[in-house]
Amino acid sequence: MTSLEAFKLFKEKFNLKFNEYMDPIMTIASGMKPCLDVIKFDDWLHEKYGNYEDAGHSMQSLLVEKYGQETADQVRQLV
């Protein structure tokens, strides 16, 4: 996934700015492939949906339920 695609995904699906959820060190280490700061994104998901693990969800299953399989797959590409 390109940076432009990541920015578009986060704006359209989550109404977030991807640059606020990008892991700069991992992005540089990966040769500038955009990488998600999973902890920061997980914190946002918890703010929005509560402690979803108590309901038996993983981050992936929550994303599938709330945003669809395609979005969950796209987020996975950023990890």
**Is a pLDDT exceeding 90 seen at residue 1?**
no
3-state secondary structure (DSSP) of residue 22:
strand
* Residue 42, φ and ψ in degrees, nearest 5: -60, -40
Domain count, the chain: 1
**Is a pLDDT exceeding 90 seen at residue 58?**
yes
Range of the domain at 57: 3-77
List pLDDT tens digits, range 5-52. Answer: 999 999 999 999 999 999 999 999 999 999 999 999 999 999 999 999
Do 71 and 9 form a contact (C-beta atoms < 8 A)? yes
Q: What pTM does this model have?
A: 0.90
Q: Is 73 left (phi over 0), alpha (psi -120 to 50) or beta?
A: alpha
Give pLDDT, residue 57. Answer: 94
| Residues 6+ positions from 20 with CB-CB distance below 8 Å | 40
